[in-house]
Amino acid sequence: MKKKNAGDVIARVLMLLVGAFCGIFMIISSDPEKLFGGGPRDFAVQIAICLLCLLAAYFIQAVIHETGHLIFGLLTGYKFVSFRIGNVMFIKSDGRLRIKLYNVVGTGGQCLMMPPPWKGKIPYRLYNFGGCIANFVFAVVFLAAFVLMNEPGLLRTFFGMLFAVGIGNVLLNGIPLQVGGISNDGRNALSLGKDETVMRAFWLQLYVNGLLSEGERMRDLPEGFFFLPEGEGLEDPIVCTVGVMRYNYYFDVHDFEKAEETAEYMLKAPGLLGVHRNELLCELMFLRIFRGAEPSEIDSLNTPALDKYIRSTANYVSRRRLAYAYQLLYKKNLTIAEKCRELFEKTVKTYPYSSEIENEKEIMELIDQKREIF
């Protein structure tokens, strides 16, 4: 049996507690006549309305959380790059704010910013904890509104839910955890305070993302930026991310041999985040398909867990490319491959990073060339 990650268990417990408190707020603040005085149909309608309020509370607190990162980032010298809630992203590109579609499995939103220039260290506490601070402040406001409203009703219930979800967000993001294969704000802040190498790795992630949003490509950056983690660095999730970027660099310069070597090396790193592990496994599968590896090499990667991840990230532009190569070069199913290409073309229209689109289109052309060889 697969051992459950402690962070995932704690996160589920916190979510259950939030749900329980929301139920309590619903009971003590609703109109008893409306909730229990009618028949089963009226009761079901009231429950459905409360569930919609709960979903709205999660959305509002997600916006508050990411806005907190934005505000405290700006106050400490960071510059706006992108702001995402769900799969809707607002990204600054060519001096303009654009709306794109992008999602990261395991996250409900994300605010990314360009960090201040590297001078041996960068401010990181307020940027990382800005979301928790904002959630806590507004949770107190919503609790005050709940207490001050004497009349039972839907609005009072909603304020109670906003309070419960806000405190839940504070705990879920403030307690150092790794949830769904991704480190939360508290864990990032804890890691950054330990070592300058970790802090520089964090800075590099944000800096490179900022450059990519402006159309820069990985291949245009110095190879020396992306050091290969060794020793203790292989145990730190943030430092391991630099190794993942090193893979992306080799992939962008089309040095597929070094890219495959880097992916295999980083997959052995104990500190590699679950989401990065899955991404590298997807890339390794593509590279093996692309070089015409034996079917056993390819099939050994296609585990039920990875298949589930691939299906959950099917709308990623890199996953569209993997699907196309899999069907065209490995399965040799031209009909399905053509559908995969159509989906690829549809996805790139709303993808936020133009530099990645350029490379992905180049890779698609190389896949077509490989078809002639195979």
Judgement on whether residues 175 and 210 belong to the same structural domain of the protein: no
Checking phi first, is residue 203 left (phi over 0); if not, alpha (psi -120 to 50) or beta? Answer: alpha
Nearest to 13 by CA among 175, 212, 144, 223: 175
100 contacts 89 by C-beta, under 8 angstroms: yes
Judgement on whether residues 156 and 208 belong to the same structural domain of the protein: no
- pLDDT digit string (tens) for the chain, length 374 residues: 445 678 788 888 988 898 888 888 777 777 666 665 666 777 777 788 888 989 999 999 999 999 999 999 999 999 999 999 988 999 987 778 889 888 777 677 899 999 999 988 899 999 999 999 999 999 999 999 999 987 778 888 899 999 999 999 999 999 998 887 778 899 888 888 888 889 999 999 999 999 998 889 999 999 989 999 999 889 999 999 999 999 999 999 999 999 999 999 999 999 999 899 999 999 999 999 999 999 999 999 999 999 999 999 999 999 999 999 999 999 999 999 999 999 999 999 998 888 899 999 999 999 999 886 65
Of 131, 153, 183, which marks where a domain is finished? Answer: 183
How many CA atoms, within 13 angstroms, populate the side-chain half-sphere of residue 314?
7
pTM of the model: 0.86
Judgement on whether residues 49 and 153 belong to the same structural domain of the protein: yes
For residue 27, the model assigns a pLDDT of 77
Judgement on whether residues 143 and 19 belong to the same structural domain of the protein: yes
289 contacts 329 by C-beta, under 8 angstroms: yes
Instruction: Give residue for tokens 């979903």.
Output: 55
Residue 199 in domain? no
Residue 231 in domain? yes
- Which tokens go with 68? 């907190």
Distance from the Cα of residue 33 to its chain's centroid: 43
Residue 88 in domain? no
Number of domains in the chain: 2
Distance CA 235, CA 226 (A): 17
Residue 26 in domain? yes
Biggest CA-to-CA distance, the chain: 76
Alpha helix segments (H runs only) across 30-123: 32-36, 40-75
Residue 97 in domain? no
Judgement on whether residues 21 and 123 belong to the same structural domain of the protein: yes
Residue 298 in domain? yes
N-terminal to C-terminal alpha carbon distance within the chain: 40
Instruction: Give residue for tokens 């990230």.
Output: 313
Judgement on whether residues 229 and 175 belong to the same structural domain of the protein: no
Judgement on whether residues 290 and 210 belong to the same structural domain of the protein: yes
Residue 92 in domain? no
Residue 249 in domain? yes
Judgement on whether residues 122 and 212 belong to the same structural domain of the protein: no
Judgement on whether residues 276 and 210 belong to the same structural domain of the protein: yes
For residue 1, the model assigns a pLDDT of 41
Judgement on whether residues 212 and 346 belong to the same structural domain of the protein: yes
Domain that holds residue 332: 204-373
- Which tokens go with 102? 């992008």
Judgement on whether residues 301 and 167 belong to the same structural domain of the protein: no
For residue 202, the model assigns a pLDDT of 93
Judgement on whether residues 231 and 295 belong to the same structural domain of the protein: yes
